[in-house]
Amino acid sequence: MSPFDTPEAETRGTLLTLDLGALVANWRALGARAGTEAGAVVKADAYGIGIEPAVTALSRAGCRSFFVAHLSEAVRARAVAAEATIYVLNGLLPGQSAAFARHDLSPVLGSVAELQEWAAFRQGNGAVRPAALHVDSGMNRLGLAPDEALSLAGDGSELVDAAGVGLLMTHFAASEDEGDPANARQIAAFAGIAAAFPELRASLMNSSGHFLKGCPAYQLTRPGYALYGGNPTPGQPNPMQAVVSLQSRIVQLRDVEAGTQVGYNGRWTAKRRSRLATICLGYADGYPRNASGTDTVPGGTALVGGVPCPFVGSVSMDLIILDVTEAPENAARRGEPVTLIGDALDLETVGAGAKTIGYEILTSLGRRHARRYVGV
């Protein structure tokens, strides 16, 4: 039976299979590895997996702390996780306090202005859940500078108290690169700040942080990518279970002679007599156009009957052309499924074929796919 033989998938060109059992297993494995509470980063629609199914599955498994980027994402998480603490990493934008309170959400405060605005709101409206304080330990993106944070500790702590801060956090800039000396500097900077706020819980580890030697776990971790099967130790075997697989179908086959130009603007030329298969997904389905395979730069790959087949020519809006000359004949047939993500095609390989990273592949997963959730 073809995986497309379901009422939803039969009308579509692509099928996304999402293994929520693997998601939960990855969350448990990361918590066990850290030896502390693991939260879950579910921003960007849980990295494309679907925020409601992901938060529901993780809540049932015991996850109590979620992180999103935008307030709107927090509202969606709250709808399926009534009890959880839900932190909004992008912080408090002017005038958002009432909306945070209405949904019982926790801003990640990253400036004195944000602390003041949230503290003033809390004064008039009583206690809400603890907020988080973001300290910048070297990324220069979000958060208070270390000196600024230290000046708000100890005797100067009224503002942090008034804002109801319960969690101190910072974010790594290069934790996937074990050899980057910035990691040790960030670990040391954050240790100094955490020591100045002994009454607060602290959070440092993102996915790769769990695998970084000498990285303290503190009281809460914030994995994202690894939960969804991304490799937190690039270049080494992936310790996580695969969560995402993406399949499409062959619409047409053709044989072309050596010298034939293929696709928009003829950017790929057959070097031998070749069998080509056109499959029904493209950049409008979230597969980057940068995965085009040209005469000079190789692009993405699909598995046809388990055999890697290169993209040839430009990725179109709704179609991609594969060179299936080497694929088994019984798989390179009209209607047969091909794999774009899954099995040998892990997220890092797919990202490299599109000149990007696995994170961007995941978060670009389109709205056009049929979705099948398994492992629940």
Ligand X SMILES: *Cc1c(COP(=O)(O)O)cnc(C)c1O
H or E element that contains 214: none
The CA–CA distances, whole Å, from 294 to 259, 282, 328, 358 equal: 13, 16, 24, 21
Q: Could you tell me the maximum CA-CA distance found in the chain, to the nearest angstrom?
A: 79
Cβ closest to ligand X, residue 65 vs residue 207: 207
Cβ closest to ligand X, residue 221 vs residue 247: 221
Contact 280, 14 (CB under 8 A): yes
**Annotated active-site residue in 218, 225, 228, 264:** 264
Cβ closest to ligand X, residue 90 vs residue 316: 90
Helix, strand, coil share of the chain (percent; to 5): 30, 25, 45
Is residue 228 annotated as a catalytic residue, yes or no?
Answer: no
Q: Is there binding between residue 137 and ligand X (CB under 6 A)? A: no
CB of 357 to ligand X, least distance (A): 10
**Annotated active-site residue in 43, 47, 87, 283:** 43
Contact 277, 324 (CB under 8 A): yes
Residue 262's CB is within 10 A of a number of other CB atoms, namely: 21
d(CA 88, CA 150): 23
Q: Is there binding between residue 207 and ligand X (CB under 6 A)? A: yes
Q: Which of 206, 231, 325, 339 binds ligand X (CB under 6 A)?
A: 206
d(CA 130, CA 118): 11
- Binding-site residue total for ligand X (CB under 6 A)? 10
Q: Which residue is nearest to ligand X (CB)?
A: 224
Q: Which stretch binds ligand X (CB under 6 A): 56-64, 155-163, 216-224, 285-293?
A: 216-224
Q: Give every strand in the sheet of 106-109, ordered side by side.
A: 37-38, 220-221, 201-203, 165-169, 131-134, 106-109, 85-88, 65-68, 40-41
Q: Which of 91, 223, 310, 351 binds ligand X (CB under 6 A)?
A: 223
Q: Read off the amino acid at residue 164.
A: G
Q: Which of 225, 283, 311, 373 binds ligand X (CB under 6 A)?
A: 225
Q: Which of 224, 263, 288, 337 binds ligand X (CB under 6 A)?
A: 224
Q: Which stretch binds ligand X (CB under 6 A): 9-17, 53-61, 222-230, 302-310?
A: 222-230
Work out whether the CA dihedral 27, 29, 30, 31 comes out positive or negative.
positive
Cβ closest to ligand X, residue 256 vs residue 362: 362
Q: Which stretch binds ligand X (CB under 6 A): 218-226, 237-245, 253-261, 341-349?
A: 218-226
Contact 299, 334 (CB under 8 A): no
Is residue 43 annotated as a catalytic residue, yes or no?
Answer: yes
Beta-strand pair 106-109/85-88: parallel
Q: Which stretch binds ligand X (CB under 6 A): 8-16, 145-153, 223-231, 337-345?
A: 223-231
Q: Which stretch binds ligand X (CB under 6 A): 224-232, 243-251, 294-302, 336-344?
A: 224-232
Q: Write out the binding residues for ligand X, residues 37-96 only, by CB under 6 A.
A: 41, 89
Residues contacting residue 343 through CB under 8 Å, at least 6 positions apart: 245, 303, 306
Q: Is there binding between residue 131 and ligand X (CB under 6 A)? A: no
Cβ closest to ligand X, residue 211 vs residue 268: 211
Q: Read off the amino acid at residue 160.
A: V
Cβ closest to ligand X, residue 221 vs residue 278: 221
Residues contacting residue 321 through CB under 8 Å, at least 6 positions apart: 262, 263, 276, 277, 278, 279, 311, 312, 313
Cβ closest to ligand X, residue 253 vs residue 352: 352
Which tokens sit at 345? 């095609």
Q: What is the per-residue binding string for ligand X in 18-47, x denoting contact by CB under 6 A? A: -----------------------x------
Q: What residues are annotated to the active site?
A: 43, 264
Kindly list the residues in this chain that would bind ligand X in the complex (CB under 6 A). 41, 89, 171, 206-207, 222-226
